[in-house]
Chain A
């Protein structure tokens, strides 16, 4: 294998990216100054703020890649990348529209029927329509092809029964995009017979039960479908092609800036604090040097991860499917998100700050980061599964 097969080429961002970046920064700065959001770690999971989503959409920064004819803005995937990384780096509350914007919009554009596009895309671009993802099940975690939720053929549609789990935001979302079984597997080929359906969540037969995280927060849910009727119009793509459709989305899901930046606000705040202290002479020269070295370590890695993520984004935009590189971004990036916590802990020890969920500044951010960290390397496919994908790509299995 030659250099270059592992990683797509690093391409420049489109012209106008800097201008767009500065517009987003201006917006975020105004929002922060007005107290409309408090930067937080992992806010793409935990920062559910529908009014923020709407304000963002008013600027044209939700559903950016959706064509104008469907109420979107016809911007490129790389322009969206720029906006999203600005939002994540600022710790902005983007959770409400996150799944709609990242996943469902592109999915519908690629596979959705005309009526489905007309129905959902304009609302997605307005920042008012929120989705949950229905992949995992109690007995189908890493082994996604083991899903047992079934759609049984009914008159004009499908009757759905089964249980989805770890569905972020299902208790507040309007609909869920589910992977379920609509036909039998073909012997050992378990990927056969799976389909994607869009299921409206406010209807009889749908029960949503909260799963409270160890932070005390409620993001996750168990969603039970008991004979829920889903009309044919809500089928995404082709019946039986669900596996191919879902896996084609995964490169987007795995390689985006959210796989590097979940703890960036902590790093940013820490560096700001260290800078102040070393400038005011509050810190000895030795401590300041040690601090700089540790900051440099994570900063250089973050910079490199970002280049990798950008390379994958560029390849995706060019219509390529860099599956291995995407898996590598998530493996390396999510581990870095936790390394940042370790550096922060090491350096804050000298500042006498400990994690405190009720505290302010670094104490609060540390608490958020530490408690959210186990999820970084689990969600979107565990890192062990991803490394298996890489190994397959290298020809080992």
Chain B
């Protein structure tokens, strides 16, 4: 184990311990039923500086790289932490990349498409970092050509008239996490930001949502492994039944796939999303499509007790069912990847000199260079 590995492991353990202390089933459920978050947990996280890992200290962050922020997000997903931790991590990275200061408190990110900002995670509680491109941004972006970014404080914190959680109203996802409309008027402070910022924000959100799913999927597996060892039927633990073992192994396969995909997306280094498959889109596709499988097997093996309010499993599975649709469902990601695959197939077919026969013949298409993230020989020119 290298020194960096050791440090990463230490951070991981610190986060997991802190979250485990606070994220009892009772408190997670209370957050969903009440204010929408756990203020005590949030305060504890802020005190440790964990909420701004991955952002440089000059910008007001806690330092560390993407992998540190990613590990924290996975832990948050596993613990079903009822706070905008992943959202704040993403917002910090987004702001510092745009060269803007990171405000204090809980943050969330919204990418504008059409008028207003809909289903913003924790919109009622957190300062919203809104980004958009050109005229696509509705009220805030009107009149701008390039990418823009606006920092919008939640209602009731002063600066009235700029923000509000209004017409579209407040909402919740299946896990009771706030998903609110955030409205900002023409007097909002809007910054011009480098081209590509909105795209970057979209990738960032997808990545962090995938990491949350990875954590939750692992937790669903852990809960299920424990349950089938404890629960006895026909005079022996469920774990002893081969059919149960087969299903659990299938579940483990999905969990491992999500883990590999998300970790590879982190390693692919977000801003440099260059050649080949967009790792973030592929990771979200995998996380979203696997989430349903994982939740279904978890419930099947838990039996009826898992479907109750009192059982902890639902805190995890309701998140899986919500998160798979947020920041790009698998259908959206599949379509995006598929279109890119088709484009790669035609592009490299011509570039590599395979000629018109590339499609009709076998092999040598552009799919593999694209999939393996390595450009086809000779196609670069």
Contacts and interface: CB of A to CB of B under 8 A. Distances in A.
5 A-B pairs with the lowest CB-CB distances in the bound complex, closest first: A296-B338, A292-B338, A39-B363, A296-B334, A387-B249
Nearest to B346: A275
B337 A299 contact: yes
B372 A332 contact: no
A302 B277 CA distance: 11
A145 interface: no
Contacts of A2: 16, 218
Interface in B296-323: none
B95 interface: no
Contact of B377 (A10, A29, A331, A361): A29
29 contacts: A3-B74, A3-B78, A3-B214, A25-B369, A40-B362, A85-B372, A89-B363, A90-B363, A90-B364, A90-B368, A264-B368, A267-B367, A271-B345, A272-B365, A278-B342, A289-B335, A291-B342, A293-B331, A296-B338, A299-B282, A299-B337, A300-B286, A303-B279, A303-B371, A304-B264, A324-B252, A361-B361, A388-B249, A395-B225
A197 B301 CA distance: 45
Interface in B204-243: 214-215, 218, 221-222, 225, 228-229, 239-240, 242
Given A10-B267, A268-B365, A396-B245, A295 B338 contact: yes
A7 B229 CA distance: 22
Interface string A153-188: 000000000000000000000000000000000000
A274 interface: yes
Interface in A18-67: 18, 21-22, 25-26, 28-29, 32, 38-40
B353 to A, nearest CB: 8
Interface stretch (A126-134, A222-230, A305-313, A373-381): A305-313
A375 to B, nearest CB: 20
A39 B338 contact: no
A264 B364 CA distance: 11
Contacts of A29: 352, 364, 377
B51 interface: no
Interface residues of A, number: 78
A43 B333 CA distance: 31
Given A9-B263, A387-B250, A396-B239, A292 B342 contact: yes
Contacts of B377: 22, 25-26, 29
Contact-residue size bin, chain B (C-beta under 8 Å from the other chain): 35 or more
A325 interface: yes
Contact of A308 (B214, B256, B330): B256
Interface in A371-397: 384, 386-388, 390-391, 394-397
Nearest to A309: B260
B334 A307 contact: no
Interface in B344-381: 345-346, 349, 352, 358-369, 371-372, 374, 376-378
Interface of A: 1-4, 6-7, 9-10, 12, 18, 21-22, 25-26, 28-29, 32, 38-40, 85-86, 89-91, 264-265, 267-269, 271-279, 288-289, 291-297, 299-308, 310-311, 324-325, 328, 331-332, 361, 364-365, 384, 386-388, 390-391, 394-397
Contacts of A7: 256, 259-260, 263
B342 A332 contact: no
B338 A304 contact: no
A273 B359 contact: yes
* Majority secondary structure of chain B interface residues (helix, strand, loop or mixed): helix
B245 A307 contact: no
Contact of B333 (A10, A22, A296, A394): A296
Given A265-B363, A332-B253, A387 B260 contact: no
B260 A10 contact: yes
B260 to A, nearest CB: 4
Contact of A388 (B245, B281, B330, B365): B245
Contact of A89 (B239, B252, B336, B372): B372
A296 B336 contact: yes
Contacts of B260: 7, 10, 304-305, 307-308, 311
A90 B372 CA distance: 13
A229 to B, nearest CB: 43
A304 B279 CA distance: 9
A91 B337 contact: no
A47 B346 CA distance: 27
B76 interface: no
B328 to A, nearest CB: 12
B240 A269 contact: no
B339 interface: yes
Contacts of B78: 3
Contacts of B155: none
A304 B257 CA distance: 6
Contacts of B339: 292, 296
Given A272-B358, A278-B342, 11 more contacts: A2-B218, A6-B218, A268-B365, A275-B346, A291-B338, A296-B333, A297-B289, A303-B277, A306-B371, A310-B264, A365-B362
Interface string B108-140: 000000000000000000000000000000000
Given A307-B263, A388-B245, A301 B374 contact: no
A368 B148 CA distance: 53
Among A85, A292, A299, A395, the one with the most B-chain Cβ atoms within 10 Å of its Cβ is A299
Contact of A328 (B222, B256, B285): B256
Nearest to B74: A3
A273 B356 CA distance: 10
Contacts of B365: 268-269, 271-272
B291 interface: no
B341 interface: yes
B248 interface: yes
Given A3-B214, A276-B359, A32 B245 contact: no
A22 B377 CA distance: 5
Contacts of B242: 388
Nearest to B345: A275
B367 A272 contact: yes
B343 interface: yes
Contacts of A294: 334, 338
B368 A332 contact: no
A5 to B, nearest CB: 10
A42 to B, nearest CB: 13
Nearest to A267: B367
A279 B339 CA distance: 12
B122 to A, nearest CB: 24
A361 B341 contact: no
B53 interface: no
A150 B357 CA distance: 54
Contacts of A4: 259
Nearest to A335: B253
Contacts of A310: 264
